[in-house]
């Protein structure tokens, strides 16, 4: 009992010490959002080339009137700020643009960029509203369905995510990433058997092999097949030296009572620069073995939550 309490406390500290992982993931997402081309009708609606130029043009407009010009310039201001990575300021500019007279093309552009700006700055509530509007302005674009589904997945509204991934898949049945995320959401819902065919389809269509093997590892584990869960994870992680990848290898090796494999991977985990608390957790796990369901559940859930693949495909 004492060991279980200690392990639970260590687990809490490990979760805190690994907060840097999602922050890096968020940074990567933000950089990706800044560099990826966004396929709206236009990205700029005026000839302005800088934030200063837009602000000067806005200052020259009358306090009343010129509502269309103000909408265009505030939209372009938001776009330029977005490209500079100033997501909060970009969101504010887009919100201001919507208070003026906009066209359908302009609203389509604003809602998409505003959604991505809010998402990158961590305002998922606002991002969901913006993506809902983006979908209303561009319902035939599968990427808008996927964007909204991805956000619902992030906030763990899995049923809504499943439905919007399905509608995206209907619009683009040959897009491999949509079959992958459809399988992933079913796996997160605990529907392991239903998830597997989607991963098979994603594989046939050419989705990333490593990502598929990683997801299949969680599926196999969920179905009680720890041996093949370990096989799939080794295929997916390959020679990765990421601490979270090695840690899952240890966890799965313990599940099948492979002490030798678990200890070998613990040495790799030490070499990967894992925090002392992390190493202590996995040393305890190896010592207690597969007969420690409480610790297995804690570590298993922790590792499952750590593995959140980035949405793939063009926006």
Helix (H, G, I), strand (E, B) or coil at 308: coil
Q: Among 8-17, 48-57, 75-84, name the one with the lowest average pLDDT.
A: 8-17
Question: Is a pLDDT exceeding 50 seen at residue 171?
Answer: yes
> What is the mean pLDDT of the segment spanning 73-92?
96
Distance between CA atoms of 293 and 104, rounded to whole angstroms? Answer: 56
> What is the mean pLDDT of the segment spanning 38-49?
71
For 223-238, the pLDDT digits (tens) are 999 999 999 999 999 8
> What is the mean pLDDT of the segment spanning 53-71?
94
Helix (H, G, I), strand (E, B) or coil at 1: coil
Residue scoring higher pLDDT (205 or 34): 205
Residue scoring higher pLDDT (25 or 301): 301
82 phi and psi angles, rounded to 5 deg: -60, -45
Angle at 132 between CA 127 and CA 136, to 5 degrees: 145
What pLDDT band is residue 274 in, cutting at 50, 70 and 90? confident
**Are 131 and 144 a contacting pair, CB within 8 Å?**
yes
pLDDT at 292: 63
The domain limits of the chain are 208-308
What is the value of pTM for the model shown? 0.78
Joined together, the tokens standing for residue 189 give 């819902």
Distance between CA atoms of 43 and 57, rounded to whole angstroms? Answer: 18
Which of 21-30, 77-86, 294-303 reaches the highest mean pLDDT?
77-86
> What is the mean pLDDT of the segment spanning 44-60?
93
Residue scoring higher pLDDT (297 or 260): 260
pLDDT at 281: 84
Count of CA atoms in the C-beta half-sphere (13 A) of 44: 12
Question: Is a pLDDT exceeding 70 seen at residue 298?
Answer: no
Question: Is a pLDDT exceeding 90 seen at residue 196?
Answer: yes
Q: Which residues contact 195 (CB under 8 A, 6 or more apart)?
A: 183, 184, 186, 187, 215, 219
Distance between CA atoms of 118 and 78, rounded to whole angstroms? Answer: 12
pLDDT at 14: 35
What pLDDT band is residue 250 in, cutting at 50, 70 and 90? very high
pLDDT at 33: 42
Count of CA atoms in the C-beta half-sphere (13 A) of 164: 23
Distance between CA atoms of 118 and 17, rounded to whole angstroms? Answer: 26
Q: Just give the CATH number of 208-308.
A: 1.25.40
Question: Is a pLDDT exceeding 60 seen at residue 39?
Answer: no
What pLDDT band is residue 72 in, cutting at 50, 70 and 90? very high
Q: Please, what is the average pLDDT of the chain?
A: 83
Joined together, the tokens standing for residue 137 give 């302005």
Residue scoring higher pLDDT (274 or 89): 89
For 113-157, the pLDDT digits (tens) are 999 999 999 999 999 999 999 999 999 999 999 999 999 999 999
What pLDDT band is residue 41 in, cutting at 50, 70 and 90? very low
For 160-170, the pLDDT digits (tens) are 999 999 999 99
Distance between CA atoms of 33 and 127, rounded to whole angstroms? Answer: 14
pLDDT at 146: 97
């Amino acid at each position: 009992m004492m060991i279980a309490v200690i392990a639970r406390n260590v687990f809490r500290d490990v979760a805190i010490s690994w907060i840097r992982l999602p922050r890096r993931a968020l940074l990567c997402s933000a950089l990706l959002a800044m560099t990826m081309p966004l396929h709206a009708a236009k990205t700029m609606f005026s000839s302005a080339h800088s934030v200063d130029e837009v602000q000067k043009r806005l200052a020259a407009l009358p306090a009343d009137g010129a509502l269309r010009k103000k909408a265009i310039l505030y939209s372009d201001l938001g776009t330029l700020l977005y490209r500079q990575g100033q997501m909060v300021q970009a969101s504010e500019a887009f919100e201001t643009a919507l208070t003026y007279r906009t066209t359908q093309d302009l609203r389509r552009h604003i809602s998409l960029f505003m959604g991505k700006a809010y998402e990158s700055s961590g305002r998922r509530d606002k991002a969901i509203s913006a993506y809902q509007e983006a979908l209303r302005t561009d319902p035939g674009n599968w990427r808008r369905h996927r964007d909204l589904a991805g956000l619902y997945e992030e906030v763990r509204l899995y049923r809504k995510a499943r439905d919007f991934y399905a509608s995206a898949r209907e619009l683009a049945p040959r897009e491999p990433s949509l079959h992958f995320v459809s399988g992933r959401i079913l796996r997160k819902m605990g529907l392991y058997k239903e998830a597997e065919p989607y991963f098979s389809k994603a594989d046939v269509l050419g989705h990333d092999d490593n990502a598929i093997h990683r997801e299949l590892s969680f599926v196999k584990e969920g179905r009680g097949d720890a041996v093949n869960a370990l096989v799939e994870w080794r295929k997916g992680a390959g020679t990765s030296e990421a601490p979270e990848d090695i840690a899952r290898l240890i966890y799965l090796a313990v599940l099948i009572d492979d002490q030798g494999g678990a200890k070998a991977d613990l040495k790799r985990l030490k070499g990967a620069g894992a925090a002392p608390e992390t190493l202590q957790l996995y040393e305890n796990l190896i010592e207690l073995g597969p007969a420690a369901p409480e610790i297995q559940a804690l570590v298993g859930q922790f590792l499952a939550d750590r593995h959140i693949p980035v949405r793939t495909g063009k926006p």
